[in-house]
Structure 1
C-alpha cells in the first residue's frame, strides 16, 4: 500500500523545532509534499533563517518522520529558507498579538518569575540557580533562565553550553527576536553568549555601568523569545547594585529567593539583599542555605562555614513582615563542585548526591506552591 501525501504531511508536521519548541507545521515550515506510486516521498521544508543551527537536527527528524509512514519506501528531502515576509508572519504569530519590544513578564503575567539573589559573591548562587532550573524542568515545567549577573556570568558553563575555551553559542536571531539556546530543557540567555574569544585571550570581560546594565537586562526580558513559560528564573549578581534595582523596576511582581552560607558574615549581608527586594515591591519567598555541614565517612559532620546562617536570614526577613521560610539547606559536596566545573548539573547527573537531593527538595517546594492568579488577567474572552 502506497502512503498518502496527507499521512506524510501529518508525520512531518509533528516534528518539533528544537529552538522554538513547536511543531514545524504550526510554524509554517512545511511546504510541498508528494508521494510517488512507488512510495518515494518528496518533502520540502523551509528553515527560518540561512545557517539555522538546528538545520541538521530538523532535517534528520523530518526524514525519519517521513520514512516512518507506512508505505514510504524512500525520502527525497529538499530544505529551503523562509522569505522575509514569511519570517515576519512567523514572528507576529510567536508574539501572539504582543507588540514588538514589549516585555511579557511584568505584572499580570501568568509566568512565575523568581529572582535568585545573595548578599555577597562566592556563596554558590549561580550553581544553585542552574541546578534549580534543571530540577524544575525535570518536573515537567517550562523553564527559562536569565543570567543577569552580567559582570560575573557563569550560567553557560554550569549548563554545559560553553566550549572548552569559554565561548557559548549565541542565540539565533529571527528578525528582531532572539531564540535562546536550550540545555537540559532550560531555555537560557546570558551576556556570555555574545562575547567571543580573540586569539589566546580569555573571553572578554564586561566593564559596563548602570545604563548599559539596565538596557541589557531589559533586552533579555523583551527581545528573547522564551515562549510560554511556567517559571522564569533570574540569576542576579550579588549585592544590591544596579542590576538588582533594574530587575526590581522591570519585574516588581517577581518573587525572590535569598542564598546564603551558614556563616554570620554571609548571612548578615544576605539580609540586606532581601530588604532591597522588598523596597522595590518584590516578595521574598524563601531562603536557601548553601555550603552547609558536610557528612564525613565516619558519621560525623564538618561545619566548615559554621551553622545557622540560613535560619538566621529567614528569621530576620520574617520580622515585621510575611513569614519567610528556610526552603532548604544544601550540604557541601565535591560532586556538586565537580559537576559544575564539567557543565553537568548535579541534579541531572548525580541525583542521589546529598546536595542534589537538597536542591530537588527545594524545587519540589516551589513546584507545589504555584503563584496565585489573584489580580492577574486571564486570556479569556466572554461569549
Structure 2
C-alpha cells in the first residue's frame, strides 16, 4: 500500500480541491481534507464515507480522515537530521495538560530500555520540566567540545531544561527563546547512538510541536488521554495536528483509566472508562492499552524511581511494559 494507491482510491470522491495531505506508513493511513469551520459539519458524512472506503482497502490496517481549516506546513527540509545517531524518535503528546503524559513518557522510556533498546528521553516541556524530579536527577550535564552530554538514569539518557535552571525558577520566556532551547537540546546535545528517543512533548498544538515535528522528524506519536470527554476532545486535536505535519500516530493510551482500592479491591471508574478506546476506534488508530490510577505511580514519581523500575512486578508496571512492546513492534515494522 503506497500513497499513490490511496490517492487512486480517493479519486472517485473528487477531493482534489480539498485534499491537504496523504500519509501512509506500515498500513496506517492518514488523510487531511481542508474545510472551513462553517463547512465542517456538512462534510462529516463525506469524511466518514471516505474513511470507511480506505479502511476496506487491502493492506490497510487503519485509516483516519481529518478535516482541517489550515493548510499543512511546508515539508521539513531535506538536510541531514539534527539527530544523526538516533534511529527512531517517538513523541509522547496530549492535547491538554494534567493527563499524566510525563509519567507515561518516563515509564515508556525506562520500559524500552529494559527491553534492550538503547533509549533516550528528551523533556521538551520548557515551561514545566518535570523529568528531573521523576527520574531523581539533580546535577547539571557536562559540556564537552561545545556539546552537552545527557545525564543517565534507569538505563536512559536524559536531557531537560530543568537540569540548567533552578527548580523553583519560573521561565518567563517568549516563543523564540523556547524554540532556541529546544533546538539546543536536540542539535547541541551528544545523544550518541540510540535505538529510540522518546520526547515528552509540551501540552497543546503550538510552535514547540511544529518545531519538533520538523527538526526531529518523529517516526510516530503516542497520544495520552484520560477517559473523560473533555480530555478526549483535546486528544482528537493532537491526532489531527500530527496528521497535518505528516507524523503517523502509533496509537492512543488511556491513562488514569480506573482506580482499584488497595484495601478492598473495589474498582472505581473515577474519570469514566473506555473513552480513549472508543476514540481511537473512531479515529482509526490503534488503542495501546489502559494505565490504572494507582498511588504507587505517584509515590514512585515523587521519589525519582519510575514505577516500572522500582516495582517491576506490579500490575501498572506490566501495563507500561505492554505499551513499550507495542511501540517497539510498531517501530520495527
8 Å CA contact 2:259–2:269 kept in 1: the answer is: yes
User: Following TM superposition, by how much is the alpha carbon of 1:124 offset from its aligned partner in structure 2, in angstroms?
Assistant: 0.5
1:78-135 Cα deviation digits (max 9, x unpaired): xxxxxxxxxxxxxxxxxxxxxxx974437xx761110000011111100110111111
State whether structure 2 residue 283 is matched by structure 1 residue 307: no
Report SS of the residue matched to 2:330.
coil
- 1:4-83 → structure 2 map (5 Å cutoff): none
Aligned counterparts of 2:133 and 2:123: Cα–Cα separation in 1:
11
Q: Given the superposition, is the C-alpha separation of residues 348 and 250 from structure 1 closer, same or farther in structure 2, using an over 3 Å criterion?
A: same
- 1:1-383 → structure 2 map (5 Å cutoff): 103-105=81-83, 111-161=87-137, 168-196=138-166, 203-296=168-261, 297-318=263-284, 324-371=285-332
Q: Which has the higher helix share?
A: 2
User: Following TM superposition, by how much is the alpha carbon of 1:181 offset from its aligned partner in structure 2, in angstroms?
Assistant: 0.7
Gaps of 5+ in 2: 1-78
User: Following TM superposition, by how much is the alpha carbon of 1:249 offset from its aligned partner in structure 2, in angstroms?
Assistant: 2.0
1:37-56 Cα deviation digits (max 9, x unpaired): xxxxxxxxxxxxxxxxxxxx
Task: Please list every run of at least 4 consecutive aligned residues from structure 1 whose deviation after the TM superposition is greater than 4 angstroms.
Answer: none
1:129-159 Cα deviation digits (max 9, x unpaired): 0111111111111001110001111011111
8 Å CA contact 1:252–1:280 kept in 2: the answer is: no
8 Å CA contact 1:268–1:313 kept in 2: the answer is: no
Normalised TM-score (structure 1): 0.63
8 Å CA contact 1:258–1:286 kept in 2: the answer is: yes
Aligned counterparts of 1:370 and 1:233: Cα–Cα separation in 2:
12
Normalised TM-score (structure 2): 0.73
Aligned counterparts of 1:342 and 1:137: Cα–Cα separation in 2:
20
Q: Given the superposition, is the C-alpha separation of residues 309 and 209 from structure 1 closer, same or farther in structure 2, using an over 3 Å criterion?
A: farther
Aligned counterparts of 1:104 and 1:228: Cα–Cα separation in 2:
13
Aligned counterparts of 1:135 and 1:142: Cα–Cα separation in 2:
11
User: Following TM superposition, by how much is the alpha carbon of 1:245 offset from its aligned partner in structure 2, in angstroms?
Assistant: 1.6
User: Following TM superposition, by how much is the alpha carbon of 1:293 offset from its aligned partner in structure 2, in angstroms?
Assistant: 1.2
Report SS of the residue matched to 1:208.
coil
8 Å CA contact 2:81–2:216 kept in 1: the answer is: no
Report SS of the residue matched to 1:370.
helix
Aligned counterparts of 2:211 and 2:289: Cα–Cα separation in 1:
28
1:301-358 Cα deviation digits (max 9, x unpaired): 100111122113312331xxxxx11111000110011101111100001112222111
Aligned counterparts of 1:261 and 1:362: Cα–Cα separation in 2:
16
Aligned counterparts of 1:277 and 1:311: Cα–Cα separation in 2:
19
Gaps of 5+ in 1: 1-100, 162-167, 197-201, 319-323, 373-383
Report SS of the residue matched to 2:291.
strand
Bigger Rg over Cα: 1
Aligned counterparts of 2:178 and 2:279: Cα–Cα separation in 1:
28
